[in-house]
Amino acid sequence: MADIRTVNESISVAPQITPEDVAAIKAAGFVAIVNNRPDEEEAGQPAGEAIRAAAEAAGLGYAAIPVTHAGFSHPQIDAMTDVLVHADGPVLAYCRSGTRSCNLWALAAAKAGRNPELLVNQARAAGYDLSAMRPTLDALAGAQ
């Protein structure tokens, strides 16, 4: 099973998962999976559609919000917000290492008006460093 890191009660992040991981993800109490990894980013990675099929078969929600090296966009941030707002329980987001998933969650939370200092601290406790994103988090949170 993947290295799942809890960020807060609503979101956890992980490196690449497989369709075989989905049953354990459901058993761990997650209600939805967010795929932040583009297909074919790396040779041999499981296809998003295979994970979607496993998630849906297990009764979990699934959303694909791929983030490439081009960075993050407002539509991606808004899509992540939509998943988190409509999930009736904890969400697991994954990418290659978990970093993009954590970053996208933080951007969505900041845009929703959450305190950037809290976001940085929650990410740090999960093993992710958002210090380089802090000015963007501050700007997004201040735009409310």
pLDDT of residue 40: 87
pLDDT of residue 104: 97
Element (H, E) at 104: helix 99-111
Dist CA 2 CA 30 (whole Å) = 14
Supply the pLDDT for residue 142.
Answer: 87
Helices 99-111, 74-86: inter-axial angle, 10-degree rounding: 80
The pTM of this model reads 0.94
Residue 118: is it exposed, middle or buried by C-beta count within 10 angstroms (0-12/13-18/19+)?
A: middle
Question: Tell me, what's the pLDDT at 1?
Answer: 62
Residue 33: what are its φ and ψ, rounded to 5°?
A: -120, 135
Predicted confidence (pLDDT) per residue in 28-82, tens digit: 999 999 999 999 899 999 999 999 999 999 999 999 999 998 889 999 999 999 9
Q: What is the pLDDT of residues 100-121, one digit of tens each?
A: 999 999 999 999 999 999 999 9
* CB 36 within 8 Å of CB 93: yes
Question: What is the per-residue pLDDT for 143?
Answer: 56
Count of alpha carbons within 13 angstroms of residue 90, beta-carbon side: 16
Q: What is the pLDDT of residue 69?
A: 84
